[in-house]
Structure 1
Amino acid sequence: MRQFTAVVNPAAGAAAGAAALLALARHLREEGADLRTEYSRSLAHARELARAAGGEGRVVLAVGGDGIAGGVGGALSGTGAVLGLVPAGRGNDFARALGLPSAPAALARLLLHGESRPVDTIEVVSATHDRTVVLGSVYAGVDALANRHANRSRVLRGSASYYAGGLRAVTTWRPARYRVTVDGREHSHTGYTVVAANSGFYGSGRIIAPDARVDDGLLDIVMIDKAPRWMFFALMNELRTGAHVRRPQVRILRGSEIRIEAHREIPYGTDGEVDAVLPVSVRVLPGALNVLY
């Protein structure tokens, strides 16, 4: 029987995380599984807890949203340890990309009896040469600004917070001039954002890169060009289905190593966390993480 360590961040979505873990724990323990719970103080602490549990051969459960999933998954990348996700956050986009069941009983069956499969991860190197590894995407532009607004919202939750954050960000955004280098080839871009996507989803279920796959060894680079604000609002609605990729203002490239630079200070985010500005270098790590899905 598998042994599990659940890593929970009580400071972010505490009630939702506790409820999701409680519902799941009953099913795991009924089948005789060993489950420990570790409460982290920060993402850095969550990474430490994950590496320690993975080193003991335990399945590490990331309980929460994309931030904790990316932090824990990134810590386990390249170690051979196995990750399980317990979606309980604002976005849950990587769990959505994996097609994880939402019902606790079905998720427990998967965690208890499913086979782990390798997925790609993303190595991110900041302007100050800090290195992190994440799971879903790196995005630089108006969406990172919107994400920052959503994270700071004390009233709205889930998709509503992202939509409100997006409206606030777009109304003040000035198109930025980017230099995007994909596998050594340079591309000029003026517009709203550049996204390097491992997962097709971001921003609480929006389909930014419909053809992205978590196990193909490549990132989909989505660039949204300069356009009137009314068109960008229409494009935001099209992100629900992925129809935006048919617009001429959207360019998609594919590659394994990407560098994103801009002529002014532009924020970028990774898996729901926004705490840095361009430039940033991104590299896919093929099959680096074992995940139960």
Structure 2
Amino acid sequence: MVNPAAGYGKGAKIVGEVEKFLRTNDLVYESFFTKKGQNARAIVKKRLDESFTDLLVIGGDGTLNDAINGIGENRKVVVNVISTGTGNDFIKSVNVGSNLIQQLDTLLHGVEKTIDLGVCNERLFHNGVGIGFDGQIVADMKQKKRPLLLWGYGAYLYRVLRILSSYQEKQLSFSIDGKKYTKKVLLLTVANGTTFGGGFVLTPDAKVDDGLLDVCLIERILPWNRFLSLSKLGAGRHGKLEEVSFFKASHVSIEADKKQWMHIDGELLGHPPFEINIHKKALKVRVRASA
């Protein structure tokens, strides 16, 4: 499954090299490309009904999200990943290799690992969902053109810094395993993985196979302190900030709020309400033998 647009065209550039590798190693395969506006999940489901044993995803976190939602409850299929997106957060929590050479080696010599998946309003996610500041960044990326002379991760960081300087915390009502909260929130992330936005370690203690969701709540931070806090997020050292709280949970509920955006695996999901749960041991992934 190839998303040719992932990583500003990186997916399209490497597909020939990947197919050559598959042929050289006598792996029987069939390629298909996703297109903008296409129901990629339905295509994955149809292809897997044709008795394929493995799915190789060439794309970013959003492409992988489409793939796992196409797989659904088909737990016999093993997912392989070649990351060509902008953030590539999945590979920071699941050791499939950090570059093309390692990921091709994993495809050939890796071992199966069963991981958990989250589910938000019946849509599966591999890494996490977020509302508030990070949801607004994704909404901004979808609704506006990229900045002139900036692309890839540079364009993303530009938006982070611009929105960070002006974003106003909004009141949010939510519950974590039944305990209710109403707070002014800069960010609320419910995670299966550790890293978001390509390098922000929001939930450093998250594990993809522990049967739990990790929640990071960041309350109001004064604008002039936000940039210092951002540097701590990048290193996963924000746990000591008084505005930050962490939780382990099985269920998170977010009440209706038309003023706030939610993202799912870096793709825009919409506005609350949302019900978020964990699906234990839901997906087989091929990882490096040392993982």
- State if a TM-score over 0.5 links the two structures: yes
Task: Please report the RMSD computed on the Cα atoms of aligned residues, expressed in angstroms.
Answer: 1.9
Is 1:249 matched with 2:243? Answer: yes
> CA offsets, 1:114-152, max 9 Å, x none?
222111111111xxxxx3112111000011111233454
User: Residue 139 of structure 1 aligns to a residue in which SS?
Assistant: strand
Structure-2 residue corresponding to 1:90: 86
Query: What letter corresponds to residue 98 of structure 1 in structure 2?
Result: V
Query: What letter corresponds to residue 173 of structure 1 in structure 2?
Result: Y
Identity of aligned residues (%): 25
- Cα separation, 1, equivalents of 2:168 and 2:100: 44
Between 1:162-171 and 1:61-70, the stretch displaced more is 162-171
The total of aligned residue pairs comes to: 282
Q: Which of 134, 146, 155 is the matching residue for 1:153?
A: 146
Structure 1: which 4+ aligned runs deviate by more than 3 Å?
10-14
Structure-2 residue corresponding to 1:116: 112
- Cα separation, 2, equivalents of 1:264 and 1:221: 22
Structure-2 residue corresponding to 1:104: 100
Any stretches of 5+ residues in structure 2 without a counterpart?
none
Query: What letter corresponds to residue 107 of structure 2 in structure 1?
Result: L
**Alpha-carbon distance, 1:262 to partner:** 6.1
Change (3 A) 1:158 1:238: farther
Structure-2 residue corresponding to 1:26: 20
- Cα separation, 1, equivalents of 2:232 and 2:47: 41
- Cα separation, 1, equivalents of 2:152 and 2:237: 22
- Taking the TM superposition and a 5 Å limit, the aligned residue runs for 1:1-293 are 7-13=1-7, 15-42=9-36, 45-55=39-49, 56-80=51-75, 81-125=77-121, 131-151=122-142, 152-153=145-146, 155-261=149-255, 265-293=259-287
- Cα separation, 1, equivalents of 2:38 and 2:115: 22
User: Residue 83 of structure 1 aligns to a residue in which SS?
Assistant: strand
Change (3 A) 1:158 1:207: farther
Q: Any conservation in 2 of the 1:90–1:204 contact (CA below 8 Å)? A: yes
- Cα separation, 1, equivalents of 2:114 and 2:38: 24
User: Residue 35 of structure 1 aligns to a residue in which SS?
Assistant: coil
**More strand per residue: 1 or 2?**
1
Q: How does the TM-score come out when normalised to structure 1? A: 0.89
Between 1:252-261 and 1:164-173, the stretch displaced more is 164-173
